[in-house]
Structure 1
Amino acid sequence: MKIMEKYTNITIIITLFFFNRYAVANEAVSTTKLYIVYMGEHSYPDSDSVISSNHELLASVAGSFGQAKEAITHHYHKSFRGFSAKLTPEQAQKLRETESVISVFESKTNQLHTTHSWDFLGVNNVPQNNAKVESKSDTIVGVIDTGIWPESESFNDNGLGPVPKRFKGECVAGDQFTVNNCNRKIIGARIYPKGYEAKYGPLESFNATFFRSPRDSDGHGTHTASTVAGSVVNNVSLFGIASGTARGGMPSARLAIYKTCWFVACTDADNLAAFDDAISDGVDIISISGSSLNPLKMDKFHPVIFARDAAAAGVTEGEASLCFNGTLDRKLIKRKIVVCSGLGIDNPDVVVREGGGVGMVLSIDSLFGLNEYSLQYVIPTTVLDRNEVQVLQNYVSRSKNPTAKISPTKTILNATRAPKMAFFSSIGPNTITPDIIKPDITAPGVRILAAWSPVSIESTAGRSVDYNIISGTSMSCPHASGIAAMVKSHHPSWSPAAIKSAIMTTANAMDNTKRAILQNPSDSPASPFNYGSGHVNPIAALDPGLVYDFGSKDLIDFLCSTRAYATQIQMLTGKKVACKSPPVPMYDLNYPSIGVANMNGSVTIVRTVTYYGHGPAVFDSKVELDSPTGVKVKATVKPKQLKFKEAGEKMIFSVSFVADKTIHGSLVFGSLTWSSGNKYKVRSPIGLNLASAIQVRGK
């Protein structure tokens, strides 16, 4: 097996996965816990040999072959070698000391994090190479999540050709899910409950709705799958909100479903088993995150009362203002709109409704950014910040009979600056490899309408829906995955690194008003630590002009720069490794961004670009830096101009940075852009953390 050559993208994910969790490996607890034992590449002839070897290894510390078999929950035997097992801390430590083991760490539990979102990205204007790209796409997207609701119209297979022959996955039947639920859209479906049950007990022991099958009882997996590759469905909305045509980023892509999440929790052990299968199954992209009714409204005005003025006997005004259960006097709130304070996390709308109230005003502190979530309520509700509520308070105080009316929610397009970074976005800097700017990219993730599981009603105010609006980084992930699938379909021979480069270098660092992207809730300018390269631009990503590519050799140099032992890297990659001395700097990985975590005076970074245009082209460089007060940094690009004769040609350039004046710890952001007339603008973000200035003789 040659993971580094065939699965560079998956190797990156797995490598960082293990490095990120290495720090938690030395916890000591008296009881057994679920651990993951990772041994990297393997050269065994078949899976049975790997499994037998795993049993042998664990038996050496567990005491017997039988105990080893009983302890193991998952074997990772297809794309890499390892297993998950219930171990004591002492057993885990003994395995760490075994020469063939790269790392042992506890299996952690991960929590899962608009019809018009793809329109906003301009996907409806994407030129198709030919009919085959849309109707007969062989791009396969693996979705690791809570499963899927196969009956959703978003997963119809109209117009799709036969399942790609290279796909080796399975359609696993189970509770209310048969092999007939798979089709030419949902081409595979598997489940992974063992890690969850080893940690928390049988699924049946929980008093909650679930399906021991790929069927989705939560809705999250259905939502993400339809966002990345949902079929085109007309006239979709959530109670009339965000009405339009629902579609995924790549409607013609195929879906392979890997259900690892149960009751909104997913264990590392199950996720890794899904990764192992997905790689072996032949997926191209892995995405892992984490109606006829009308909106609720009022037809007439109703009296308004602040919850603090409706406190039940023995309840303080402060307690009543939060609208907790049992804090309100039913006689005082009956047939009224009640003003409640707080985040609304304890279902105040339910309390108001059960007390006879007809509507709710939820008063929140705008700093919480709650308005970025699409919360749903069982009675007509509007959310106001504290300043807006003060205006309402003044009205109520002045009026003898204050009344109000809550109108139905409306969808308004192009009314505000967008995109804007949500307060819940994952932000940098990168704590593991600080010379790589993170995040890479930003994509739509606020108020996204997509397919839903109708049995999941907790987030829909108790109502069964086929489509739902939710927010989170989990919504951004399938947008990025969908764009990657689009690029893959247009450039099937491109490496994962090239696809990533195309998406990153064509992203927008400006919003729809041509001004800097802002961040919520402060409305201050965002930086690459907020949005990475910028907001995704699918159309431009299909034809980026220049590409920053890298392969297995570059990744080995990168791993060497982390100071990992050569033996560890060899076990990880399956290749004999001799790290260079000194190692290639981490910042010289041929990445589409430029980051230097500890710049002492000056530094020079080197990059290689490959031209993917039509005919000869000339690219001119431009560096823009935004230095804080008291800091001065100069940048020099050599050569300043790149001249290409034909597609596929590669060229090397360098960028030198010199800090003439600095303050220790200063952050300098900026960008390097290679432009070829009005055709291409290939932009890379820059992030420099200055440690000192250059020492100039005579000063």
Structure 2
Amino acid sequence: MDPRTEAMATFENNSKAVNSDVITDSTCMKLVYVVYMGALPEGYHSLYHSNKLQEHHAKMLQDVVPRDTSLTKALVTSYKRSFNGFAAYLTNQEQQKLASHEDVVSIFPSRTLWPQTTRSWDFIGLNENVIRNSNTDSSSNIVIGVLDSGIWPESESFNDQGFGPVPQKWRGVCNGGTNFTCNKKLIGARFYSSDTARDTIGHGTHTASTAAGNYVKDASFYGIAQGTARGGAPSARIAAYKVCQGGCREADILAAFDDAIADGVDVITISLGSSVAVDVIYDSISIGSLHAMEKGILTVHSAGNNGFSPGTVISVAPWLMTVGASSIDRGIVAKVVLGNGKTISGKAVNSFKMKGTEFPLVYGKDVRTGDCDELAGSLCSTDCLNSSLVSGKIVLCDSNSGIEEALNAGALGTIVKPGQVPDVSFVVPMSASVLIASDFELVKSYINSTEEAKAIVSTSESMKNSDAPVVASFSSKGPNPIISSILKPDITAPGVEILAAYSPAAPVTDYLKDKRSVEYSVLSGTSMSSPHAAGAAAYVKSAHPDWSPSAIKSALMTTAWRMDPTRHKDAEFSYGSGHINPINATNPGLVYETSREDYIKLLCSIGYSAESIRQLFKDNSIDCSKFKKVDSTNKDDFNYPSMTVKVAEGAPFSATFSRTVTNVGLANSTYTAAVDKSSDCNITVDPQTLSFKQLNEKQSFVVTVKGDRMKSMVSASLVWSDGIHLVRSPIVVY
């Protein structure tokens, strides 16, 4: 099935289940649909044309909805500041009528997306001294737009001590609702489908402070992961756009993009997504980020948290920077000490201290209620633990879901097996430790070996993680399910056990009995890696204010630390170009600049009609007939920092990549090509040297990859070096 057809089929089949934007009148059910109409009309001036554009949207609606329908009720919002379109309540029949309108590029149900949910900056080389020494007027002139669940403005991470006046370029507002105040650090706030920009979930506060939080000494989660909390760009300003209240409506996400672009942000970070990738013109984040790119704004997006199988990455557009999650060199463990003296390290963010040296240890099946069988008891299933038998004891459960039952039954602590994510410590609501299967069996054997088994679960502590960086098991993987010639994710960044600011009004965990309130918490997810990359992008932009989004993205990708493919069975489909390295990205030597024409060429080559692309860019000169399809020729001249092509399995293959680099290093320099590969394929580069005489000079080259038979994938890289800079691009044929 064509990806666009498949995407729309998914929408139609699941829209009722995932979408809360439903109204029912006496005759039919209506959903919120996004009607996307491309770029703003030529000659558009917002002050004069804004009302006219909204009138046009209302007229389009009037032509399809019944005459007795209130347009005020039907029209949800108009997008008129940075691109053209609207969201409205429509029946399936009404949206089909609108889809045929000549001004419409795409129309799709407004899905409900979800959040993808300090030591990390030191680990990637951006320590406090480096950041302080780089503080300039340009760094405090950078504005990071955070599209998330809002922000807690009183957090110390957003204090404005030492900040000068708000940048003159800023055109936004502080519309945070009642009792919400901005300052010279948090300079803007807006909310959608809510009555406040205040964060009651915690996610938005965490991502905002990770990207650009100010310095806060001795921050911790109940003493765990203690240190100075700060963002990657602590001198940058923050603008918060609250698009999530529980779920995150696509209609609101597009409205926030519309505002953020017009407000004057420099970088956008968004850590939201669905469970499946959809075509770029039916996806609010792809659409919004396209228009952000057109205005010189880089959008950084989380790859997704469904990485247990290939092709699960949900951020697929080439103009987005897609970020996977990896570990840092600090891990958090909760140790279990058994009565026989053996100590086992488990995973958990456990802030509770047991008062004593050892406590009775029991197995769930041995302390179950009479209504539960042995299996349910061993799993510590709901209502299966006998409160009188577990009080004051530590319970061993065969499932991590047993934590809640142990808590509800009044157990002193619990030891459980991991769920789908064994490599991450999550915050727990009681004394608990999550053990890998082999260690869990050791505890079970110990219980069986004695009539008086005892143990203690210690409060969590930090430990050195010498294996880092390793891509987290949950981090969504490639290949790109929509555009096979674009490698996704682009890069990885810290996303495991990240300490950052949190909303004190938000629940610390999802457990109902957990009533704690904190100002800093530890979260994991690609939601945490996206603001790390956004902070790094802001750092690079502060050094090079005139660089385009694609130049910044290229600099971060080509200077990334290469990761060990022997630890990642999916290789580049796990980590893209590698682990982010902000310091080197400020001096990459060469950059791959992706032009507007490149994006048009790519969209033409993968099957979009010229009419749709003309609407997308409001450019009637676009002609797709001169562009061949990428997938049918295996000739790729899309100027992207990575090189990827999909070929037929079991057959000889040949793929050609044409690329152009721009010299941003030394004016007079010569680069030599070197290829590193892990297969028997033949890779050539022509020419093998590139000589530059001046800055911003461009040089082109061609990479050819040939092989006798494709079994799985070719994983290689091209490195250009002038003796000072190393400019590395991954090469993937699969």
Settle same-fold status: TM greater than 0.5. yes
After superposition, give the CA deviation of every residue in 1:113-159 in whole Å (9 maximum; x if it has no partner). Answer: 1x101111110177469665279611010000000001110001111
Equivalent position amino acid for 2:260 in 1: A
Q: Please state if 1:442 is matched with 2:492.
A: yes
Q: Please state if 1:227 is matched with 2:210.
A: yes
What is the aligned counterpart of 2:437 among 380, 386, 395? 386
Q: What displacement does 1:501 show?
A: 0.1
Equivalent position amino acid for 1:465 in 2: V
Equivalent position amino acid for 1:384 in 2: L
Once the two structures are superposed, the pairs formed by residues 384-423 of structure 1 within 5 Å of their partners are: 384-413=435-464, 415-423=465-473
Q: Please state if 1:670 is matched with 2:716.
A: yes
Residue ranges of structure 2 left out of the alignment (5+ in a row): 17-27, 273-348, 631-635
Query: In the aligned structure 2, how far is the partner of 1:573 from the partner of 1:404?
Result: 65
- Pick which of 465-474 and 390-399 moved more: 390-399
Cα 1:274–1:167 change in 2 (3 A) is: same
Query: In the aligned structure 2, how far is the partner of 1:142 from the partner of 1:555?
Result: 24
Residue 364 of structure 2 corresponds to 307
What is the aligned counterpart of 1:89 among 89, 92, 100? 92
- Pick which of 646-655 and 28-37 moved more: 28-37
Residue 9 of structure 1 corresponds to none
- Pick which of 306-315 and 469-478 moved more: 306-315
Query: In the aligned structure 2, how far is the partner of 1:396 from the partner of 1:143?
Result: 50
What is the aligned counterpart of 2:660 among 608, 620, 625? 608
Q: Please state if 1:188 is matched with 2:188.
A: yes
What is the aligned counterpart of 2:507 among 457, 460, 463? 457
| 1:671–1:685 CA contact under 8 A, matched in 2 | yes
Q: What displacement does 1:579 show?
A: 2.5
Q: Please state if 1:467 is matched with 2:520.
A: yes
What is the aligned counterpart of 2:429 among 374, 377, 381? 377
Between the two proteins, the alignment pairs up a number of residues equal to: 627
Equivalent position amino acid for 2:35 in 1: V
- Pick which of 299-308 and 551-560 moved more: 551-560
Cα 1:82–1:433 change in 2 (3 A) is: same
After superposition, give the CA deviation of every residue in 1:441-472 in whole Å (9 maximum; x if it has no partner). Answer: 11111111000001112418321000000111
Aligned CA-pair RMSD:
2.4
- Pick which of 272-281 and 322-331 moved more: 322-331
After superposition, give the CA deviation of every residue in 1:532-574 in whole Å (9 maximum; x if it has no partner). Answer: 0011011111111110002212222222212212111111101
Residue 671 of structure 2 corresponds to 619
Query: In the aligned structure 2, how far is the partner of 1:502 from the partner of 1:143?
Result: 22
Q: What displacement does 1:339 show?
A: 0.8
Q: What displacement does 1:603 show?
A: 2.7
Cα 1:19–1:218 change in 2 (3 A) is: farther
Equivalent position amino acid for 1:643 in 2: S
Q: What displacement does 1:591 show?
A: 0.2
- Pick which of 65-74 and 571-580 moved more: 65-74
What is the aligned counterpart of 1:595 among 638, 644, 668? 644
Q: What displacement does 1:518 show?
A: 2.3
Equivalent position amino acid for 1:572 in 2: L
Equivalent position amino acid for 2:383 in 1: G
What is the aligned counterpart of 2:727 among 679, 682, 685? 682
SS in 2 for 1:666: coil
Q: Please state if 1:646 is matched with 2:697.
A: no
What is the aligned counterpart of 2:163 among 160, 165, 171? 160
Residue 588 of structure 2 corresponds to 544
Q: What displacement does 1:431 show?
A: 1.4
Residue 352 of structure 2 corresponds to 296
What is the aligned counterpart of 2:571 among 503, 506, 527? 527
Residue 482 of structure 2 corresponds to 432
Once the two structures are superposed, the pairs formed by residues 29-40 of structure 1 within 5 Å of their partners are: 31-40=29-38
After superposition, give the CA deviation of every residue in 1:166-198 in whole Å (9 maximum; x if it has no partner). Answer: 111111142442xxx2001110000010xxxxx
| 1:427–1:438 CA contact under 8 A, matched in 2 | yes
| 2:663–2:698 CA contact under 8 A, matched in 1 | yes
Q: What displacement does 1:31 show?
A: 1.8
Q: What displacement does 1:526 show?
A: 4.3
| 1:518–1:526 CA contact under 8 A, matched in 2 | no
Query: In the aligned structure 1, how far is the partner of 2:138 from the partner of 2:622?
Result: 47
Query: In the aligned structure 2, how far is the partner of 1:79 from the partner of 1:129?
Result: 35
Q: What displacement does 1:88 show?
A: 0.4
Query: In the aligned structure 2, how far is the partner of 1:271 from the partner of 1:242?
Result: 33
Residue ranges of structure 1 left out of the alignment (5+ in a row): 1-16, 194-202, 204-211, 520-524, 690-699
Once the two structures are superposed, the pairs formed by residues 495-506 of structure 1 within 5 Å of their partners are: 495-506=548-559
TM-score by length of 1: 0.85
| 2:592–2:641 CA contact under 8 A, matched in 1 | yes
Residue 697 of structure 1 corresponds to none
| 1:498–1:548 CA contact under 8 A, matched in 2 | yes
| 1:421–1:530 CA contact under 8 A, matched in 2 | yes
Once the two structures are superposed, the pairs formed by residues 481-496 of structure 1 within 5 Å of their partners are: 481-496=534-549
After superposition, give the CA deviation of every residue in 1:304-343 in whole Å (9 maximum; x if it has no partner). Answer: 1101101112321211222234212223222111111213
Cα 1:400–1:483 change in 2 (3 A) is: same
What is the aligned counterpart of 1:79 among 82, 88, 94? 82
Once the two structures are superposed, the pairs formed by residues 121-140 of structure 1 within 5 Å of their partners are: 121-124=124-127, 127=130, 132-133=135-136, 137-140=140-143
Equivalent position amino acid for 1:191 in 2: F
Cα 1:633–1:560 change in 2 (3 A) is: same
Query: In the aligned structure 1, how far is the partner of 2:455 from the partner of 2:99?
Result: 66
Residue 273 of structure 1 corresponds to 255
SS in 1 for 2:721: strand
After superposition, give the CA deviation of every residue in 1:21-59 in whole Å (9 maximum; x if it has no partner). Answer: 656566698621110101112324421011000000110
TM-score by length of 2: 0.81
Once the two structures are superposed, the pairs formed by residues 206-225 of structure 1 within 5 Å of their partners are: 212-225=195-208
Cα 1:133–1:585 change in 2 (3 A) is: farther
| 2:400–2:434 CA contact under 8 A, matched in 1 | no
Q: What displacement does 1:64 show?
A: 3.7
Query: In the aligned structure 2, how far is the partner of 1:506 from the partner of 1:69?
Result: 51
Query: In the aligned structure 2, how far is the partner of 1:345 from the partner of 1:572?
Result: 51
- Pick which of 576-585 and 71-80 moved more: 576-585
Residue 150 of structure 2 corresponds to 147
Equivalent position amino acid for 2:122 in 1: D
SS in 2 for 1:465: coil
Residue 248 of structure 1 corresponds to 231
Counting aligned pairs with the same residue, the percent is 42
Residue 98 of structure 1 corresponds to 101
Query: In the aligned structure 1, how far is the partner of 2:433 from the partner of 2:712?
Result: 43
Cα 1:295–1:267 change in 2 (3 A) is: same
| 2:205–2:502 CA contact under 8 A, matched in 1 | yes
Once the two structures are superposed, the pairs formed by residues 166-177 of structure 1 within 5 Å of their partners are: 166-177=169-180
Q: What displacement does 1:604 show?
A: 2.0
Q: What displacement does 1:294 show?
A: 9.4
Residue 200 of structure 1 corresponds to none
| 1:608–1:651 CA contact under 8 A, matched in 2 | yes
Query: In the aligned structure 1, how far is the partner of 2:197 from the partner of 2:526?
Result: 23
What is the aligned counterpart of 2:703 among 632, 640, 655? 655
After superposition, give the CA deviation of every residue in 1:220-246 in whole Å (9 maximum; x if it has no partner). Answer: 000000000000110011011111000
| 2:403–2:416 CA contact under 8 A, matched in 1 | no
